[in-house]
């Protein structure tokens, strides 16, 4: 028997309110947030079809941010928020078929950004040409060191294999490519293995997320599908933590029936707090065995708490996403299944600002209150 129309409307609204409450509030004490989209603010970074750049690989002008601008990294420098974002040109076809370069934008209020006209990291005739030709430089994540050096992890894409790489800078404009993160360790065992998404563990020092050592080493959560762990002494060369069988240790895996049932992927920099390491990550919902309340294939954002004494140990993990696609601009674009892909996090003037990719097309922002 069908319910009366009014009763059905009430049930639908009640379910929506409960879902909203679960996302916006009721977070455990260890979690960061809740994060709320600022009223009246849509995407903070958009494509610019007019902007051109002389590509050193093609030796011609290209519309380097003509199609999509998304998946940002974030930091604070000299009292301003800086975003380094992935920009796709108007060549090629389909997801992964364009060439990506990394642009930069800055803001005095963390909301309204001014973009630099040319990219700061891009494929060039250099030592990394073979790994970046065709696909380019993708999906940056950013931390700072105590000495003021910025460390950027990004994906090198040659349209065959994704390789996690690192670049360093003192001014966010001029970058030195350090090459593949895993090239030197274990005799190059993982150089040609698919790798993405490097979330380096940080601590909040003087209002800035700064790379932090645990047990005398730097640590990084990485991966797409499941999350692994790696360590480093210099933030440039990283060694993957392996299991007893000599394979990358799975620190965190996908969960059937959940928003992260298809894959998990590292988000922005992880943070050491008094309760442990808070890791923000992205989860893709399976079309066959996922959460029925979330669109199939949609990317939502999750959080996990790991031990600061043993970074391989998961203490707790949210069962529902704390942030997920809701707005039209998060569900339309290059990836219409819906994406709130978190990659940038910064602390600015007493608030947390979370920057995320929207449907592989735009950059959005959400704001959170509170200290760690």
- Among the CATH numbers 2.60.120.10, 2.115.10.20, 3.40.190.10, 3.40.50.300, which is that of 139-368? 2.115.10.20
In this structure, are strands 224-225 and 238-240 parallel, antiparallel, or unpaired?
Answer: unpaired
Cβ-based burial of 288 (10 A; exposed 0-12, middle 13-18, buried ≥19) = exposed
Please state, in angstroms and rounded to a whole number, the distance separating the CA atoms of residues 84 and 150: 12
pLDDT at 86: 98
Q: Residue 359: left (phi > 0), alpha (psi -120 to 50), or beta?
A: left
Buried b (16+ CB within 10 A) or exposed e, 194-221: ebbbbbbbbbbeeebbbbbebeeebbbb
Contact 290, 279 (CB under 8 A): no
pLDDT at 93: 81
pLDDT at 17: 35
Mean pLDDT, consecutive 10-residue stretches, the chain (372 aa), reads 40 37 70 96 96 95 96 97 97 86 98 98 97 96 97 97 98 98 95 96 94 97 97 98 97 98 98 97 97 97 98 98 97 94 97 97 94 72
pLDDT at 372: 73
Domain boundaries, the chain: 139-368
Please state, in angstroms and rounded to a whole number, the distance separating the CA atoms of residues 286 and 302: 15
Task: Report the 10 Å Cβ neighbour count for 161.
Answer: 14
- Alpha helices, DSSP H, located in the chain: 5-24, 129-132
- Give the SS3 label for residue 328: helix
**CA distance to 26, 230, 257, 316, per residue, from 252 (Å):** 23, 13, 16, 11
pLDDT at 152: 98
Q: Sign of torsion, CA 150 166 178 236?
A: positive
Task: Report the 10 Å Cβ neighbour count for 287.
Answer: 13
pLDDT at 25: 57
Buried b (16+ CB within 10 A) or exposed e, 79-103: eebbbbbbbbbebeeeeeebbbbbb
């Amino acid at each position: 028997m069908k319910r009366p129309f009014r009763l059905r409307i009430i049930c639908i609204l009640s379910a929506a309110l409960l879902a909203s409450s679960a996302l916006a509030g009721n977070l455990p004490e260890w979690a960061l947030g809740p994060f709320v989209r600022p009223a009246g603010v849509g995407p903070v970074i958009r494509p610019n079809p007019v902007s051109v750049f002389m590509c050193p690989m093609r030796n011609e002008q290209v519309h380097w941010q003509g199609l999509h601008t998304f998946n940002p990294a974030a930091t604070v420098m000299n009292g301003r928020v800086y975003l380094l974002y992935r920009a796709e040109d108007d060549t090629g076809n389909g997801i992964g078929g364009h060439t990506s370069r990394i642009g930069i934008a800055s803001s005095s209020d963390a909301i309204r950004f001014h973009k630099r006209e040319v990219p700061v990291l891009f494929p060039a005739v250099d030592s990394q040409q073979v790994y970046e030709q065709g696909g380019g430089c993708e999906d940056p994540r950013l931390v700072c060191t105590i000495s003021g050096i910025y460390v950027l992890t990004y994906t090198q894409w040659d349209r065959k294999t994704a390789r996690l790489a690192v670049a360093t800078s003192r001014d966010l404009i001029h970058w030195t490519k350090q090459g593949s993160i895993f090239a030197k360790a274990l005799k190059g065992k993982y150089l040609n293995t698919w790798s993405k998404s490097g979330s380096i563990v940080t601590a909040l020092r003087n209002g800035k997320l700064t790379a932090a050592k645990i047990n005398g080493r730097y640590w990084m959560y990485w991966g797409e599908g499941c999350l692994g762990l790696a360590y480093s002494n210099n933030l440039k060369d990283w060694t993957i933590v392996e299991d007893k069988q000599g394979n990358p240790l799975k620190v965190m895996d996908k969960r059937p029936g959940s928003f992260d049932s298809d894959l998990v992927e590292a988000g922005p920099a992880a943070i050491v707090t008094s309760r442990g390491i808070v890791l923000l990550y992205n989860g893709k919902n399976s079309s066959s065995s996922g959460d029925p309340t979330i669109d199939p294939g949609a990317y939502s954002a999750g959080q996990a708490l790991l031990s600061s004494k043993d970074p391989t140990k998961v203490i707790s993990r949210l069962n529902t996403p704390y942030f997920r696609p809701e707005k039209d601009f998060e569900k339309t674009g290059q990836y219409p299944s819906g994406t709130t892909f978190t990659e940038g996090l910064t602390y600015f003037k007493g608030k947390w600002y979370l920057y995320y990719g929207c449907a592989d097309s735009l950059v959005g922002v959400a704001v959170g209150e509170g200290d760690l």
